[in-house]
Amino acid sequence: MADMRVCIADVYMKNPVITASGTFGFGREYNEIYPIGCLGGISCKGTTLNEKSGNEPPRIIETHSGMLNSVGLQNPGVDHFLKEDLPWLKSQDVAVILNVAGSTVEEYCKIAQKVSDSDIDIIELNISCPNVKEGGVAFGTSANSVESITQQVKMHTKKPVMVKLSPNVTDIAEMARAAQSGGADAISLINTITGMRIDINTKRPFLKNNIGGLSGRAVFPVALRMVWQAANAVSVPVVGMGGIATAQDAIEMMLAGASAVQVGTANFTDAYAPVKIIQGIEKYLDDNGVCDVNDIVGQVKIW
């Protein structure tokens, strides 16, 4: 059987499958379905300095092959996470990635400082969330701001920092290079694509926030292209996500240059999706005589 272990920012994981932020909570509910210790890692619900109630409903709607959400980072805050969620997560033998968000650079830095001596494994810097009215997109769509916020967060923590990039930009490779220049230990992409739907009967957007983030299988080809471009622009590890629902999707991401993948919206339609993806990757490696999962990373043969 192939070796499935991967290393992201000096953090070793038993396999390359991570559950994506915002779709898996802090893991407790899914642990009632299967032992989450079988995963490579968990990217926790986007966490802010203080508790947030999120945006007003309606804030989720299904779309063709995906969904729009404007949840608005509803979460209990970093102090609650450190006290109530982190000890339980660490007992599950899984890498813990804390996705953090803020309205100001100072908020990001305060969170990074708070978790610096904790047991989390990686900080995932959410600078690209399109469903938050302030911050988020503004930080993620300018190369200068990507580099600057990465630098400042790095100065406030001893933890590895993985920068999550927005797809709502003109040049994803430029943003990837900016994150690396700012000291990022890894990058992850893509976050959701900004989208909108309108109820033709009420003539109002379905989402109270008017716009939201599009995720799910519809975005996979865009995500794959951007992961390939980013992986060819930087030397730090790349974690790919966006519409991954099957082992084939995950393998494509890895061939494009991702050292690991995150599974998000697929969790809502099939709670066992991450487990099936792990099993499918193992089968692919064995069927093709590949001894180490890392050997397929970046091996796409471009015409």
Map tokens 């919206």 to a residue: 265
Which of 7, 38, 109, 129 is catalytic? The answer is 129
Handedness of CA 212, 218, 222, 228 (dihedral sign): positive
Give the SS3 label for residue 99. strand
Query: For the chain, how are helix, strand and coil distributed in percent, rounded to 5?
Result: 35, 20, 45
Bridge partners of 240, per DSSP, are 189, 261
Distances (CA, A) of 210 to 23, 134, 188: 21, 15, 26
Please say whether the beta carbons of 98 and 48 come within 8 A: no
Joined together, the tokens standing for residue 110 give 């305060």
Give the SS3 label for residue 2. coil
- Residue 7 annotated in active site: no
Joined together, the tokens standing for residue 77 give 């805050």
Q: Which positions are catalytic? A: 129
